Amino acid sequence: MYDERFLRRAIALSAEALTRPGCEPFAAVVVKEGRIVGEGINRSQLTHDPTSHGETEAIREACRNLASVDLRGCDLYSSCEPCALCVAAMEIAGIARLYYAAGLGQSNAALAALPEAARFPIDSGRLRAQCGLPVEERAMPARQALAGEAVAVIRAWADKARAAR
């Protein structure tokens, strides 16, 4: 259920980025049963990590705090509509609901005034389209090799996990 306090917290965290070198104004919180279990702010430039978005950082902290990678039943509140990378992380973690403030079009318009050198060019539309394509149809060239060896390792892990239960 939507609670404005949590969206306001995500926006407040995004505003904190204005005072933190290497941070960008995108933040999120993960909420479980009415309390914040994870917070995150975009630290991509600071950590040299292109996956350090507000949403992924909030998910990472929530998982650490809950000692689980299962966030089913949790909600995510974001200062901005999540990109495809963050949507994928939310799906993998099991986030139940998303609430966000600025839309991608709105944030892109706000960032359009930056000189090209100051922007890291993330084309959210292209990212979403590429993620939905089979690997052989994507713009990035890809080649499969050594599948048998990799599958053997995966099978060994599955056998070990099955035996432990």
Catalytic residues: 55
C-alpha neighbours within 13 Å on the C-beta side of residue 122: 18
What would the two tokens of residue 98 be? 């998303």
Token pair 């104004």 is at which residue?
25
Pairwise CA distance, residues 123 & 40, whole Å? 22
101 CB-contact burial (10 Å; exposed 0-12 / middle 13-18 / buried 19+): middle
The answer to whether residues 95 and 82 touch, using CB atoms and an 8 Å cutoff, is no
